[in-house]
Amino acid sequence: MHRLFRRQIRKSLAQNVPPILQEANFVFSKGEYGRAAELFEQLARTAEGRGGPRAPLFYLQAGRARLLAGQAALGIPSLQRGLELLAQRGQFQRLNQAGKRTVRELVEQGLNAEASAIEAWLGSVLPAGIPIEMSSVERGVLPTHCPACGAPLRPSDVEWLDERTAECGYCGSPVRENP
Ligand SMILES: [Zn+2]
Protein backbone atom coordinates (compact mmCIF):
# COMPACT_ATOMS: atom_id res chain seq x y z
CA MET A 1 0.00 0.00 0.00
CA HIS A 2 1.23 3.47 -0.76
CA ARG A 3 2.90 5.04 2.25
CA LEU A 4 0.96 8.31 2.12
CA PHE A 5 -2.31 6.49 1.74
CA ARG A 6 -1.49 4.28 4.69
CA ARG A 7 -0.76 7.38 6.74
CA GLN A 8 -4.15 8.84 5.84
CA ILE A 9 -5.80 5.68 7.09
CA ARG A 10 -3.76 5.70 10.29
CA LYS A 11 -4.76 9.27 11.01
CA SER A 12 -8.44 8.42 10.83
CA LEU A 13 -8.33 5.26 12.92
CA ALA A 14 -9.14 5.42 16.59
CA GLN A 15 -6.94 2.91 18.34
CA ASN A 16 -8.10 0.39 20.85
CA VAL A 17 -5.80 1.14 23.73
CA PRO A 18 -5.16 -1.86 25.97
CA PRO A 19 -6.03 -1.09 29.62
CA ILE A 20 -2.67 -2.53 30.75
CA LEU A 21 -0.89 0.16 28.72
CA GLN A 22 -3.00 2.90 30.26
CA GLU A 23 -2.29 1.48 33.69
CA ALA A 24 1.44 1.23 32.99
CA ASN A 25 1.58 4.87 31.94
CA PHE A 26 -0.59 5.91 34.88
CA VAL A 27 1.50 4.22 37.57
CA PHE A 28 4.69 5.46 35.88
CA SER A 29 3.38 9.03 36.03
CA LYS A 30 2.56 8.55 39.72
CA GLY A 31 6.12 7.41 40.41
CA GLU A 32 5.24 3.77 41.10
CA TYR A 33 8.19 2.65 39.04
CA GLY A 34 8.45 -0.94 40.20
CA ARG A 35 4.85 -1.63 39.26
CA ALA A 36 5.22 0.29 35.99
CA ALA A 37 8.30 -1.78 35.14
CA GLU A 38 6.42 -5.05 35.65
CA LEU A 39 3.63 -3.91 33.35
CA PHE A 40 5.97 -2.61 30.65
CA GLU A 41 8.00 -5.83 30.79
CA GLN A 42 4.80 -7.77 30.21
CA LEU A 43 3.79 -5.46 27.34
CA ALA A 44 7.26 -5.74 25.83
CA ARG A 45 7.36 -9.55 25.90
CA THR A 46 3.88 -9.79 24.39
CA ALA A 47 4.71 -7.27 21.67
CA GLU A 48 8.01 -8.96 20.86
CA GLY A 49 6.30 -12.34 20.69
CA ARG A 50 4.17 -11.15 17.82
CA GLY A 51 6.88 -9.02 16.23
CA GLY A 52 5.06 -5.86 17.18
CA PRO A 53 6.53 -2.51 16.23
CA ARG A 54 6.18 -1.14 19.76
CA ALA A 55 8.25 -3.80 21.53
CA PRO A 56 11.43 -1.64 21.59
CA LEU A 57 9.64 1.31 23.18
CA PHE A 58 8.04 -0.93 25.82
CA TYR A 59 11.42 -2.50 26.69
CA LEU A 60 13.03 0.91 26.97
CA GLN A 61 10.28 2.22 29.21
CA ALA A 62 10.48 -0.93 31.35
CA GLY A 63 14.21 -0.44 31.73
CA ARG A 64 13.79 3.24 32.52
CA ALA A 65 11.21 2.43 35.19
CA ARG A 66 13.61 -0.11 36.77
CA LEU A 67 16.37 2.51 36.86
CA LEU A 68 14.03 4.99 38.53
CA ALA A 69 12.98 2.29 40.99
CA GLY A 70 16.65 1.82 41.91
CA GLN A 71 16.69 -1.64 40.30
CA ALA A 72 19.38 -1.13 37.71
CA ALA A 73 20.35 -4.79 37.52
CA LEU A 74 16.80 -5.62 36.44
CA GLY A 75 16.59 -2.65 34.07
CA ILE A 76 19.79 -2.98 32.05
CA PRO A 77 18.68 -6.13 30.16
CA SER A 78 15.45 -4.42 29.10
CA LEU A 79 17.30 -1.32 27.92
CA GLN A 80 19.70 -3.49 25.93
CA ARG A 81 16.87 -5.54 24.44
CA GLY A 82 14.98 -2.43 23.35
CA LEU A 83 18.03 -1.00 21.65
CA GLU A 84 18.94 -4.37 20.07
CA LEU A 85 15.48 -4.66 18.54
CA LEU A 86 15.80 -1.19 16.99
CA ALA A 87 19.17 -2.22 15.55
CA GLN A 88 17.83 -5.54 14.22
CA ARG A 89 14.95 -3.75 12.55
CA GLY A 90 17.24 -1.19 11.00
CA GLN A 91 15.56 1.73 12.77
CA PHE A 92 18.80 3.61 13.10
CA GLN A 93 17.36 7.09 13.52
CA ARG A 94 15.37 5.88 16.50
CA LEU A 95 18.28 3.83 17.76
CA ASN A 96 20.47 6.92 17.70
CA GLN A 97 17.94 8.98 19.68
CA ALA A 98 16.97 6.25 22.13
CA GLY A 99 20.57 5.16 22.59
CA LYS A 100 21.79 8.64 23.46
CA ARG A 101 18.93 9.13 25.85
CA THR A 102 19.64 5.78 27.52
CA VAL A 103 23.32 6.64 27.94
CA ARG A 104 22.35 9.99 29.48
CA GLU A 105 19.90 8.35 31.88
CA LEU A 106 22.45 5.74 32.97
CA VAL A 107 25.00 8.47 33.69
CA GLU A 108 22.36 10.35 35.71
CA GLN A 109 22.00 7.25 37.87
CA GLY A 110 25.76 7.03 38.32
CA LEU A 111 25.95 3.90 36.15
CA ASN A 112 28.98 5.05 34.19
CA ALA A 113 30.35 1.63 33.27
CA GLU A 114 26.96 0.53 31.90
CA ALA A 115 26.64 3.81 30.02
CA SER A 116 30.08 3.38 28.46
CA ALA A 117 29.28 -0.18 27.40
CA ILE A 118 26.10 0.92 25.63
CA GLU A 119 27.86 3.88 24.06
CA ALA A 120 30.57 1.61 22.66
CA TRP A 121 27.97 -0.84 21.36
CA LEU A 122 26.04 2.01 19.70
CA GLY A 123 29.22 3.11 17.96
CA SER A 124 29.67 -0.40 16.60
CA VAL A 125 26.14 -0.85 15.21
CA LEU A 126 25.14 2.61 13.98
CA PRO A 127 26.03 3.08 10.34
CA ALA A 128 28.32 6.00 9.61
CA GLY A 129 26.45 9.12 8.61
CA ILE A 130 22.95 8.09 9.61
CA PRO A 131 20.52 10.69 8.36
CA ILE A 132 20.16 13.59 10.74
CA GLU A 133 16.63 14.28 11.89
CA MET A 134 15.38 17.35 10.07
CA SER A 135 15.11 19.49 13.16
CA SER A 136 14.74 22.59 11.01
CA VAL A 137 11.34 21.36 9.90
CA GLU A 138 8.64 23.21 11.76
CA ARG A 139 6.69 20.83 13.88
CA GLY A 140 3.73 21.51 16.08
CA VAL A 141 3.91 21.33 19.84
CA LEU A 142 2.34 18.15 21.11
CA PRO A 143 0.48 17.68 24.37
CA THR A 144 2.85 16.36 27.03
CA HIS A 145 0.91 13.10 27.26
CA CYS A 146 -1.04 10.98 24.81
CA PRO A 147 -4.78 11.59 25.38
CA ALA A 148 -5.56 7.96 24.57
CA CYS A 149 -3.04 5.97 26.60
CA GLY A 150 -1.37 8.53 28.86
CA ALA A 151 2.18 7.95 27.61
CA PRO A 152 4.64 10.84 27.80
CA LEU A 153 5.10 12.12 24.26
CA ARG A 154 8.82 12.56 23.66
CA PRO A 155 10.01 13.62 20.22
CA SER A 156 11.82 10.28 19.93
CA ASP A 157 8.67 8.32 20.69
CA VAL A 158 6.36 9.68 18.05
CA GLU A 159 6.20 9.54 14.30
CA TRP A 160 4.83 12.59 12.52
CA LEU A 161 2.05 11.77 10.10
CA ASP A 162 1.86 15.34 8.85
CA GLU A 163 2.82 18.80 10.14
CA ARG A 164 0.07 18.77 12.73
CA THR A 165 -0.47 15.15 13.63
CA ALA A 166 1.88 12.70 15.27
CA GLU A 167 1.35 9.06 16.09
CA CYS A 168 1.86 7.94 19.67
CA GLY A 169 4.60 5.30 19.69
CA TYR A 170 2.98 3.50 22.60
CA CYS A 171 -0.58 2.99 21.40
CA GLY A 172 -0.58 4.14 17.78
CA SER A 173 -3.23 6.80 18.30
CA PRO A 174 -3.04 9.94 16.24
CA VAL A 175 -2.28 12.97 18.42
CA ARG A 176 -2.97 16.49 17.20
CA GLU A 177 -0.64 19.30 18.09
CA ASN A 178 -1.76 21.88 20.62
CA PRO A 179 -3.86 24.63 19.02
ZN1 LIG B 1 -0.79 6.69 23.20
pLDDT tens-digit readout, 43-63 = 999 999 999 999 999 999 999
Dist. CA 79 → ligand 1 center (Å)? 20
| Pairing mode of beta strands 174-176, 165-168 | antiparallel
At 136, is the pLDDT very low, low, confident or very high (cuts 50, 70, 90)? very low
Dist. CA 112 → ligand 1 center (Å)? 32
| Mean pLDDT, residues 142-147 taken together | 90
Q: Which amino acid is at 163?
A: E
Q: What secondary structure, in 3-state letters, does the chain show? A: CCHHHHHHHHHHCCCCCCHHHHHHHHHHHCCCHHHHHHHHHHHHHHHHHCCCCCHHHHHHHHHHHHHHCCCHHHHHHHHHHHHHHHHHCCCHHHHHHHHHHHHHHHHHCCCHHHHHHHHHHHHHHCCCCCCCCCCCCCCCCCCCECCCCCCECCHHHEEECCCCEEEECCCCCEEECCC
* Stated pTM of the model: 0.84
Dist. CA 175 → ligand 1 center (Å)? 8
Dist. CA 172 → ligand 1 center (Å)? 6
Dist. CA 10 → ligand 1 center (Å)? 13
Domains, the chain, in order of start with CATH, read 19-128 (1.25.40), 139-179 (no CATH)
Dist. CA 26 → ligand 1 center (Å)? 12
Contacts with 87 (C-beta within 8 Å, 6 or more apart), sequence order: 95, 125
Per-residue pLDDT, 67 = 97
